[in-house]
Structure 1
Amino acid sequence: MANRVDDATIEYVGILAKLELSQEERQAAKRDMSRMLDYVDKLNELDTEGVEPMSHLFPVHNVFREDEVTNTGSREQILANAPEQKDGAFKVPRTIE
């Protein structure tokens, strides 16, 4: 099935991907794309009757913790990390004049 990929196809893919390919790169891309399509054809020959489709190889589940509000730091502890303070708040450089 390698004859499906011709120079026009490589040119079109290069335009879509916004790539400027040299002649050697075009030939390499043509070989690689042909090999990929041959592999897909080979996979299409497999008997998948009775095989349940899946989106991931491994089971995927949510590993994130619940979003809970905690007030663990006092104002003094938080402001201890500030490079500059003013009136009990972070002092930042002026952005509007």
Structure 2
Amino acid sequence: MSLTLEDVKKVSRLSRLKFSDEGLVAMQQQLNGIVHWIDQLQQVDTNGVEIFSDQQEQQIPERQDVICDGNIVEAILANAPEKAHDMFAVPKVVE
């Protein structure tokens, strides 16, 4: 299977891409190369090949969903240049 210049014009119109005449010819060659490669892949015999991965069999480890305060305010503010009321103190930026 190969794409004609009319097929490429239709695809470019549907995808809202504009090409010059030389650009259409270049795009036709590239798309035909892709279609040819797909045809080659379809000819590969995959009988007897095991499935590489099955998404349903994979188990992703989950952590416990535990609410905790952390209680590390002092550690967080240890390197703060200025702090007030257990919070970062920043200069006023709005007047």
TM-score, normalising length: structure 2: 0.58
Pick closer, same or farther for the CA change 1:50–1:76 going to 2, 3 Å.
same
Which string of whole-angstrom CA distances, capped at 9 and with x for unpartnered residues, describes residues 15-69 of structure 1? 444322222222111101101111111222222222234469xxx875x774676
Residues in 2 aligned to 1:13 and 1:92: alpha-carbon distance in whole angstroms: 56
Q: What is the aligned counterpart of 1:78 among 76, 79, 86?
A: 76
Query: Sequence identity, in percent?
Result: 31
Rg comparison, structure with higher value: 2
Residues in 1 aligned to 2:81 and 2:15: alpha-carbon distance in whole angstroms: 46
Aligned to 2:41: 43
CA RMSD in angstroms comes to 3.6
Residues in 2 aligned to 1:12 and 1:44: alpha-carbon distance in whole angstroms: 25
Structure 2 stretches lacking a partner, 5+ long: none
Residues in 1 aligned to 2:65 and 2:79: alpha-carbon distance in whole angstroms: 23
Residues in 1 aligned to 2:81 and 2:20: alpha-carbon distance in whole angstroms: 53
Aligned to 1:28: 26
Pick closer, same or farther for the CA change 1:67–1:26 going to 2, 3 Å.
farther
Which string of whole-angstrom CA distances, capped at 9 and with x for unpartnered residues, describes residues 67-88 of structure 1? 67684x7312212344553321
